[in-house]
Copies of this chain bind each other. A is one copy, B any other.
Amino acid sequence: MGKEASRKLEWRINVSDGVSERLEPETGAILRAWTWFKRLMLGGFILKICKFLEKAWNLAVDEPKKVIHGLKVGLAISLVSLFYYMRPLYDGVGGNAMWAVMTVVVVFESSVGATLGKCINRAIGTFLAGSLGVGVHWIAFHSGKNLEPIVLGISLFLLASAATFSRFMPTIKARFDYGIMIFILTFSLVSVSGYRVDRLLELAQQRLSTIAIGASICIIISMLFCPMWAGDELHLLICQNLEKLAHSLDGMFTKTCSKKMKGYRCALNSKATEELKANFARWEPAHGRFSFRHPWKQYLKIGASIRNCAYCIETLHGCVDSETQAPPHLKRHLNNICMRLSSSSSNVLQELAFALKTMKQSSKINLSVGEMNFAVQELKHALISLPNHNISIKNPSPSTVEASGNCNTEPITSIRASSSFMEILPLATLASLLIENAAKIEVIVNGVNELAVLAEFKPTTDNKKSKSNQSPKKLTSENQDPETVKIPQKV
């Protein structure tokens, strides 16, 4: 206010007598500050818009599917609008055309499954609520002029409350959330309407037909032009997560491309996405390699075991980062074996991803799992022979043991021996986490094997099928007694 007053003053003085010399420095500063502020605001705004457009461009380049979806929605809305615009039965925004347009805008989702699910939900919800609404309306109409609003109000209150509460039930929420919203909406509209029942039925028929037109345009466009199937996306997501874990395990000791190495982090938080896509996929008809009743639930199981593995890899990465001052020769020795285990684990995951991608039973998976388990045994053996190595190199004289026999005094030599144990510990932890991780990978292998049975993956050759069922059990039993295992010459 003060500033504005002074600016007004300035103009008056400038205009009236021209003695602006004395005042100019102050008003000039204010003006300059104002233009500077404006430019800054405008610049900031333009900068923000530019950044936004750049982000949008990057998104469009990364995922052209999203641009295609945008175009499809535009096409569907234009079609339904022009269809009604051209027809003589058109009677303004309040008319039935509105419902067709609204159906398209609200129902059209990026995946076919979501669109189909919403269409079916909308149809069932509208139909059920419409019938129920007409019934309640009839009862209210016949219960007298005074009771009518009370009957309507109470029934509306009870049904809307119960339906809203049911939307919180997990089973309902997953599949019928939208349908229940439409149920509430239609029921309220019908019970509020002042029409008689016969007029209502006519209206309902008109409305259902416009909704059907909107919904069928949505379904046709979403299924015919570059269809995006939620099932495909779920399948791809699981494959990609497997590959990301494989890359993370593979690059764990090389540390060359850190972005690829951190890929497993995508798997950590993919639960919500997987569940959403699995729910949508259940609405989809048979398409491509997937039948109508493809075992989508099994994908969720595999996803859960992938996440379990990712948690382990997250902890592993923490161990790799907090590297220690272990003696270099030991470090190299253990590191080499750990690297072999992590790369063979990575191989198993990559084989699984390949098998899932091609939907064929992999011929190499048993070999890969075998290699991984051999690497596990090798690592266990290395750990067994570790203290000897360590003590033999660090303390060549037998005095250490005599000292260590006496626990209370703790001479310097004993501390040297024991601190070397502390030095190996991070590596040993890393090793035992890698062994733990291998066990988790076997759970994934089992999950994928189950999927192969459920979804009837084609075998590459028949004689290998029987082996794949036995191998996991055999391998875990081997894990329990490490001393009975032979170590291969070359893994």
Contact = CB atoms under 8 A, between A and B. Distances in A.
A432 B425 contact: yes
B418 A93 contact: no
A388 B407 contact: yes
B193 A77 contact: no
Given A66-B165, A193-B93, A311-B314, A398 B392 contact: no
A487 interface: no
Contacts of A398: 398, 401-402
A156 interface: yes
A373 to B, nearest CB: 16
A67 interface: yes
A40 B184 CA distance: 32
Contacts of A169: 52, 55-56, 59
Contact of A168 (B59, B84, B161, B272): B59
Contacts of A383: 421-422, 425
Interface string A18-56: 000000000000000000000000000000000010011
B185 A106 contact: yes
A62 to B, nearest CB: 11
Contact of A165 (B60, B78, B271): B60
Interface in A411-439: 414-415, 417-419, 421-422, 425-426, 428-429, 432-433, 436
A165 B70 contact: yes
Given A70-B164, A428-B428, A188 B314 contact: no
A82 interface: yes
A194 B70 contact: no
A77 B405 contact: no
A164 B74 contact: yes
How many chain copies does the complex carry?
2
A414 B391 CA distance: 11
Interface string A204-233: 000000000000000000000000000000
A477 to B, nearest CB: 15
A310 to B, nearest CB: 8
B428 A404 contact: no
Contacts of A363: none
A71 to B, nearest CB: 5
Contacts of A405: 392, 396
Contacts of A460: none
Contacts of A194: 85, 90, 92
Given A92-B193, A192-B84, A383-B422, A78 B436 contact: no
A242 to B, nearest CB: 19
B318 A78 contact: no
Interface string A170-192: 01000000000100110011111
11 contacts: A66-B165, A78-B160, A81-B191, A82-B149, A94-B94, A94-B95, A105-B185, A271-B272, A384-B419, A388-B407, A401-B401
Given A74-B161, A312-B314, 18 more contacts: A70-B160, A73-B164, A73-B184, A77-B160, A81-B153, A81-B188, A81-B192, A93-B192, A98-B189, A101-B192, A105-B184, A105-B185, A272-B272, A319-B436, A322-B436, A380-B422, A387-B418, A392-B404
The 5 tightest CB contacts between A and B, nearest first, are A74-B161, A70-B165, A388-B404, A272-B272, A74-B160
